C-alpha cells in the first residue's frame, strides 16, 4: 500500500463523515454545521488547504437539497410577487419596472417581464436573472 493510501486508511474514520452523502436529516444537519465551521476557518481563502474539502461538502449538501427539497418552477410574475412580499414592497416601490400600472399588469400575468426588467430586478434583489424566466 502506498504511503498516501496508508495515511488515508489511518485517518478515514475521521474524514469519512465529511465526504459521505447524508442519509438522514440528522446527517444533513451535522454536515451543514461542520461546513459552516469549516467556512469560518477558511474565511474565503481559495488557496486554503481545506478549500477543496469545503467544496466537496458543499456539493454533497447541494445534492441532498436537490433530492429532498426541490424548488418548483414558478412564472416570473410569481417570483416577483414573492420577492415583493419578502421585502415588504408594493407596486409603487419598483420604479425600475415602470409605473404602478405596469407592475400591476405584470403581477396579474397580463404583461411579461422584459430583459431590462429582469436585469434590474436581478440586481435589486441579488438573485440570478433566470429565476424570472
Q: Which of 39, 68, 97 is the last residue of a domain?
A: 68
Taking 3-state DSSP, the helix, strand and coil percentages for the chain, each rounded to the nearest 5, stand at 70, 0, 30
pTM score of the predicted model: 0.57
**CATH number for position 103:** 1.10.260.40
- Burial class of residue 132 (count of CB atoms within 10 Å of its CB; 0-12, 13-18, 19+): buried
The radius of gyration of the chain from alpha carbons, rounded to an integer in Å, stands at 22
- Mark whether 53 and 100 lie in a shared domain: no
Q: Which domain holds residue 47?
A: 3-68
For 91-130, write each residue's pLDDT tens digit: 999 998 989 999 999 999 999 999 999 999 999 998 889 8
For 39-81, write each residue's pLDDT tens digit: 999 988 889 999 999 999 999 999 999 898 877 788 999 999 9
- Mark whether 55 and 81 lie in a shared domain: no
- Mark whether 58 and 86 lie in a shared domain: no
Q: Which of 68, 85, 105 is the last residue of a domain?
A: 68
- Mark whether 80 and 120 lie in a shared domain: yes
Rounded CA-CA distance 86/123 in Å is 16
Amino acid at each position: 500500500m502506498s504511503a498516501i493510501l496508508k495515511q488515508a486508511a489511518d485517518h478515514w474514520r475521521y474524514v469519512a463523515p465529511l465526504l459521505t452523502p447524508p442519509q438522514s436529516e440528522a446527517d444533513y444537519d451535522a454536515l451543514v454545521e461542520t461546513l459552516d465551521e469549516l467556512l469560518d476557518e477558511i474565511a474565503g481563502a481559495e488557496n486554503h488547504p481545506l478549500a477543496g474539502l469545503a467544496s466537496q461538502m458543499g456539493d454533497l449538501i447541494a445534492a441532498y437539497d436537490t433530492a429532498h427539497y426541490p424548488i418548483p418552477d414558478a412564472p416570473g410574475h410569481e417570483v416577483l410577487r414573492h420577492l415583493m412580499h419578502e421585502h415588504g414592497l408594493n407596486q409603487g416601490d419598483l420604479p425600475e419596472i415602470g409605473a404602478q400600472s405596469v407592475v400591476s399588469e405584470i403581477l396579474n400575468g397580463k404583461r411579461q417581464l422584459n430583459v431590462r426588467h429582469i436585469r434590474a430586478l436581478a440586481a435589486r434583489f441579488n438573485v440570478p436573472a433566470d429565476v424570472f424566466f
